[in-house]
A and B are shown apart, each in its own frame.
Chain A
Amino acid sequence: MMRGIVSTFRASGSVSQAIQLALVATPLVIALLTSDNALLDSLNQMLIWAALALSWNILGGYARQISVGHVAFYGIGAYTSTLLALNFGISPWLGMLAGGALAALIGALLGSATLRLRGPFFTMATIAFAEVVRILAVNWRSVTRGAEGLAIDSTPNLPGFVFGQARSYVLVTWGLMAVLFAVSKYLDHSKTGLRLRAVRDNEDAARALGIHTFSLRISVLAVSAFFTAICGTFYAQYLLLIDPDSVLGVDASLQMALMAVVGGIGSAIGPVLGTYLLVPFGQVLRAQLGSQLAGLHLVIYGLGLVLVLYKLPNGIWPAIEAALKRRGRASRQRSGLPEEDAR
């Protein structure tokens, strides 16, 4: 995997790579420098969203299967690790792997039933699926306690994945995001990544070249579901309270997709960038306008999204990268150097 990542870095321009690394590292640096709890709190929320957007992007970006039901996996992760901890005393560190595995399994089953559907039909099936999981969580009261939700004991302890300091949360969540960033990079430049590019470009040609498109999509969905569930555990351990609204609401499904789309799907840094812009934007708007006119901050937020996607339909990162390429070419021409080799 290491070699894959290294060759990845050689693959594209060094300026682009530097920006990407800086973007990934920035929250870590801020977390180490500040002791402002409100800032750390915002930072942690942002990092969870970034990890979610990255998880979603594995399916939505690399396989171009647009899911608006990913919150189901998020909820499955949060509920699985929390229930295992509350009922059997199993550490959430292990419980999140169980939740991830369960989500991957359910994702594979969902995929084998729905991934033959194309375009909007797959998307609609994911919405229905998420709704089923949510209704199950609301009504299976003997296990989930329904709308009341589940509370986690807030005594700080490492095996229980409960920290006393906001900074500790930021550090582990940053770790999760960094892992997801690396996994995304690796996936993109692996054999699987090349196969996914082929399927994205032309499915018939891909199949004629021996690519098992259907099972490829199912495995990508399973991986995406696995990581989305892990994010669910991180969220549960951070809030120490989960209920169907918070971890199974349709808003979260849309949010993680939106962040990836605004940043640029199909790249590893796009979802990260999208999250960095949208989460603080949303928080600032709510803080400034939330008390003035109900819903005004959401209207402005929505208008902002429309504007960005109208101007940059492929998202923000692809536009930045194209600009970097143009600049690189111009400066090479000025200095009389030959064109940089594409590989």
Chain B
Amino acid sequence: MSVDLAVENLNKRFGGILAVNGAGLRVASGTIHGIIGPNGAGKTTLFNLIAGSFLPDSGRILLGARDITALTPERRCALGLARTFQIPRPFSGLDLLDNVAIGCLGRARTVGHARQLAHEVLESLGIGRYADTLASALPIGLRKMLEVARAVATAPKLLLLDEVMGGLHGDEVDRMIETIRRINATGVTVVMIEHVLPAIMSLAAQVTVLDQGRILCSGTPEAVTQDPAVIAAYLGDEVLA
């Protein structure tokens, strides 16, 4: 139930800014792939292009053998692509269970069935006891979990996680790391944008570094964090001089 992702020479311009500039990316099926980079590097724009929120000016996106470059987000979802939003976008008038049930609707016969599937998702992520809590009343940690649970509810083959650790406490980060590991263990390919570097280091097999819309480098977490170009991008050139 997993799939590989290929992004080829992707470009996206907003007015005078080239937000994504010739980005290319390969994510092997069943792996966890990290995307890091300084603020404004174009990480979220890249995600929005992969998920279909924006259409690229040029380039291609392949999910498995399928060219999804021009598909709507909902079509991409049906093909097994799910994403979380960096700033959680819960359905705030609904409780956690119904938020997740909406993700299950595509594979459920009835609303009751969707809720049953949603319960299973919540239990598997260890947040079943918050099922009846209104989404607007959830603290940030659980909102991030809601984002993940809702995405998992669609039974994805490829999961895009946009800074799901942002704003979490230490033990919440640990729990999220464990959650992602478990999701990946079920065969889901994961691509994650993350600022929490220890999380990336412990989870990702491959890391891609983005800077000013370009791919700076790709490799194992160890190799990437020692790359002089990466250090320069984060800390400035002077450090190396």
Contacts and interface: CB of A to CB of B under 8 A. Distances in A.
B95 A342 contact: yes
Interface stretch (B33-41, B61-69, B102-110, B226-234): B102-110
Interface class of chain A by DSSP: helix
Interface string B48-84: 0001010000000000000000001110011000110
A197 B132 contact: no
A194 interface: yes
B14 to A, nearest CB: 17
A297 B151 CA distance: 55
B240 to A, nearest CB: 40
A334 interface: no
Nearest to B72: A207
Contact of A207 (B73, B91, B92, B132): B73
B91 A191 contact: no
Interface residues of B, number: 34
A209 B102 contact: yes
B132 A341 contact: yes
Contact of B77 (A191, A198, A201, A209): A209
Contact of B110 (A191, A200, A204): A191
A185 interface: no
B111 interface: yes
Given A191-B110, A198-B102, A204-B53, A209 B150 contact: yes
Contacts of B110: 191
B180 interface: no
A12 to B, nearest CB: 14
B131 to A, nearest CB: 9
Nearest to B115: A343
A210 B74 contact: yes
A342 B112 contact: no
A1 to B, nearest CB: 11
Contacts of A209: 77, 82, 102-103, 105-106, 150-151, 153-154
B85 A191 contact: no
B132 A7 contact: no
Contacts of B90: 201-202, 205
B73 A208 contact: yes
A189 interface: yes
Contacts of B101: 194
Contact of B89 (A189, A190, A205, A210): A205
Interface in B100-159: 101-103, 105-106, 108, 110-112, 114, 132, 150-151, 153-154
A16 interface: no
A183 B92 CA distance: 25
B94 interface: yes
B163 interface: no
Nearest to A203: B89
B134 to A, nearest CB: 8
B198 interface: no
A212 interface: yes
